[in-house]
Structure 1
Amino acid sequence: MVAWQRWLGVVAVAWGLGTGATADTLKVYGDDKYAPVVHLQDGKPAGFLVDILRRAEALTGDRYDIELVPWKRALELAKRGDGGLMGVSWTAERAEWFDYSAPLFNDDIHVVTLKDKAFKLTQLADLKGKTLGGVTGASYGDEVDRAIADGLFRVERDIGVTSRLRKLLRDHVDGALVGNGRAGFDAVLASHPELSGQRDRFVWLPTPIARDRLYLAFPKAMKQQAALARLNAALPKLDGLRPAKAKP
């Protein structure tokens, strides 16, 4: 581990000095409860996205000062220009005030329901009239967001998938929106024994309602286009280290 860290430091210095690029310390906010993509583990940032940015530091020379908070708070802090935002979806509205990186991760959004209220899901129209649990402040892509706005189905917002699944068990919602495919669902159950004990009651519907590409973005007012360009140049070099789903 020590040798690896030294190698990363050497590469970082060589990259910065060899290219003449100006490296920065970049404040980045993200969700604290979106395991295994991004989350707090023993009080420290962890997850696929954190790993990608940490490994990219060796190639860009930049340092990412990552702070994870509830998603709604992370979005607010980024919007007011306090830092960048990791794990953010692209929408036409957000693109007006955010500069985006290349995609970091492809996040499949699925519905989890209960066996005694399972339903067929092959298209968005199958959700007509239903109430689903979803993250406060989250976008699920323009198509899904438009379906919600048009009233096809309703989303009851919360701060995390754990509370969402608990509401599902209490019949407060018809289903829960869960990210990162089956791995995301399994990770939540594995980390919460009271939910794991109810595993047989849950049904994970296999057709995703969206493939949500996740990005690193900075408010346009922060003028971090050069930092994003350095990250974009580094990402192809990480293909051997990034999870398969992280590749665009």
Structure 2
Amino acid sequence: MKTMFFTDRLKTLILCAGLILLCQVCHAENIVIYGGDSFDPQTYLDNGKPAGVIPALFARISKDTGDTYTFKLLPWKRAIAESAQGKGGIVSFTLNAERAKNYDFSEPTYQNKVRLMVLKENSFSFNTLADLNGLVVGFPLGSSFGDAFDAAVANKKIIAETDTNQVSRLKKLLLGRIDVAILGSSSFQKVVVTDPLLLANKDRFKALPNPLLEDWLYLAFAKQMQMKPALERFNKSLIALKKSKEYDAIVSQYSH
């Protein structure tokens, strides 16, 4: 009798596990994710294929959620436009008050130190946002660096010079067309070797010691997509992953 009891119990556990797995499969989706094509280390194209911390994290999370995440990496402003039309989610997205009106956000996925690059001969001390007042600052078209920075740009305290790629931004800095270039934490070393002029002048650049901000980046979906169930699955897996050594191991692969 005892053997039969345990056999029946084992069958029940197997059945429950099968039902849970079936439930996950039933809810699984193929989800398009937009991102920037030159946001090293978060998202970038490597020989035409999506790469970076965030695609790697999503590949791991996919094993838990059952969802498939298909990345489409584009120039940043176009990536935002596609997501705003409800064609897919968007990553490397900074949370601000305006975006919160139109998008549903995940738990924070990755923290990026946003660096301020200057020429050594024009270096200055940066401690607060006010230190950028009156300066021409280059950054990606369509980007947000938090409500305070966005307000300073809107109020013309910071003079914005936007672009679509980091090479042109650093060249503008080198030629004196901007005072400061905003870059991701590990972008400079990879970008500078792609252009002969930048490489020849590599030693003239300097990253200011204090970052502009330590920017938490998110996955977000336009509210009309009604993706909260997918976000709940994603968040559950992400929270568990962050508590493990596996999260740090994935991030460290792309750190420089």
* Higher Rg: 2
For 1:244 and 1:105, the matched residues in 2 are separated by 13
**TM, length-normalised to structure 2:** 0.85
Q: How does 1:84-233 map to 2 (within 5 A)?
A: 84-179=89-184, 181=185, 183-233=186-236
TM-align CA RMSD: 2.2
Match of 2:238 in 1: 235
SS at match of 1:93: helix
User: Could you tell me how far apart the structure 1 residues matched to 2:29 and 2:146 are?
Assistant: 31
Please say if residues 77 and 83 of structure 1, whose CA atoms lie closer than 8 Å, have aligned partners that are also in contact. Answer: yes
Q: CA 1:67/1:163 → structure 2, altered by over 3 Å: closer, same or farther?
A: same
Matched residues, percent identical? 37
Unaligned ranges ≥5, structure 1: 1-12
- Which runs of 5 or more structure 2 residues have no equivalent in the other structure? 1-17, 252-256
Contact 2:57 2:250 in 1 (8 A): no
Write the distance in 2 (CA, Å) between the matches of 1:73 and 1:62. Answer: 24
**Runs of 4+ that moved beyond 3 A:** 13-16, 18-21, 190-194, 243-246
Residues 241 and 195 of structure 1: CA distance in aligned 2, closer, same or farther (over 3 Å): farther
Query: Deviation at 1:208?
Result: 1.3
How is 1:16-95 mapped onto 2 (pairs within 5 angstroms)? Answer: 16-17=21-22, 22-95=27-100
Q: Give the TM-score, by structure 1 length.
A: 0.87
- The SS at the match of 2:27 is coil
Distance (whole Å) between structure 2 residues aligned to residue 61 and residue 127 of structure 1: 45
CA distance in 2, matches of 1:69, 1:199: 27
The separation in 1 between residues aligned to 2:192 and 2:240, in whole angstroms, is 33
2:6 counterpart residue number: none
